[in-house]
Amino acid sequence: MPAATGAVSRFPAERLGDAELVRAAARGEGDAVQVIWERYSRLVRGVLRGSLGPDHAIEDLLQEVFVGFLKGAKNIQEGGALRGYLVGVAVRLAALELRRRKIRRWVTLTPTGTLPERAEAPADSEGRAALAALHRVLDGVSSRRRLAFVLRHVQGLEILDVAASLGISESTARRELEKARTFVLKRAEREPALRPYVARATGGSA
């Protein structure tokens, strides 16, 4: 048997489960925080971007989500539910941002409530126009309904997870989703840039 060298190698953080990562992050271990970023920043960014569209605020909100996590890591009881925790925080921040936008529109700081230059929208102008139109349509629904729509149809969350993220019952989540769906389909048909996408979905009937 080879002699022991005395060196103790640490278990690689990237192989830890979420619960261990949360405990390690609570102890201030930078490696664990980096792995959590690696594992979930894309998801959280996706939730924010799907909810708000391309916007300079997204990277700031992403930071807020993770900083909030760092501050509260010690108090997280179920580390295994890290994904749901981060999505929940992102949803709450997105809802706040949507409210801020509405206020900006009311006080006419900008006509649309959005920043003048949007970050990294799709490269093709047709896709950019369609995406802008779709966010215009989504601006017409309540924040909760919009977030339910995004969590279900963009992030692919199950209804129960949508309900948990929004802090509502499953039946309310179903109602919100159905109302959002009906509204989006109806309004999308009135947006020229979205017609091809609706037509594609309904087999050209729209």
Partner 1 sequence: MTHPSHDPELGGLAQLLRDDAQASVPPEVDLRGRMALERRLREETERVPGRARPFYLLGGAVAVMAFVALFVLRMRPLSYEVRGARSDGPYIGAPATTPVTVAFADGSSIEGAPGSRLRVDETRAAGARVLVERGRAAVHVAHRTGSAWNFVAGPFDVHVTGTRFDLSWDPSGEAVELRLYEGSVEVRGPLAEAPIAVRAGQRFRADLGTRSMTVNDVAAEVATAVALPQAPEAASAAEPKTPALPTSNGDAPSPAATTELAPARPLPLSSEPWSALVARGQFETVVAKAGERGTHDCEASCGAADLRALADAARYTGRSAMAEGALKALRGRFGASKEGRAAAFTLGRLAEARGSMSEAGRWYDTYLGELPGGDLAAEALAGKMRTVMATSGKAAAEPVARKYLSLYPNGVHAQTARGIVAGTPHP
| Contact stretch for partner 1 (CB under 8 A) within 14-22, 81-89, 113-121, 163-171 | 113-121
Q: Residues near 79 by Cβ (< 8 Å), separated by ≥ 6?
A: 17, 18, 19, 20, 21, 22, 23
33 binds partner 1 (CB under 8 A): yes
Give the DSSP letter of residue 155: S
CB 189 within 8 A of CB 206: yes
> DSSP state, 204?
T
**Is residue 155 a contact point for partner 1 (CB under 8 A)?**
yes
Alpha-carbon Rg for the chain, nearest whole angstrom, is 21
* 180 close to 146: Cβ distance less than 8 angstroms: yes
Identify which of residues 4 and 101 has a Cβ nearer to partner 1 in the complex. 101
Dist. CA 123–CA 11, nearest whole Å: 42
Q: Which residue has the tokens 């700081």?
A: 109
Decide: is 158 part of the binding site for partner 1 (CB under 8 A): yes
Alpha carbon 199 to chain centroid, angstroms: 27
| Position among 23, 39, 45, 102 found at the interface with partner 1 (CB under 8 A) | 45
Q: Does 130 bind partner 1 (CB under 8 A)?
A: yes
Q: Residue 84 CB, nearest distance to partner 1 (Å)?
A: 15
Q: Which residues contact partner 1 by CB under 8 A? A: 28, 30, 33-34, 37, 41-42, 45-47, 49-50, 53-54, 56-57, 59, 62-63, 66-67, 70-71, 109-110, 115-117, 120-125, 127-128, 130-131, 134, 150, 152-158, 181, 184-185, 188, 194, 196-202
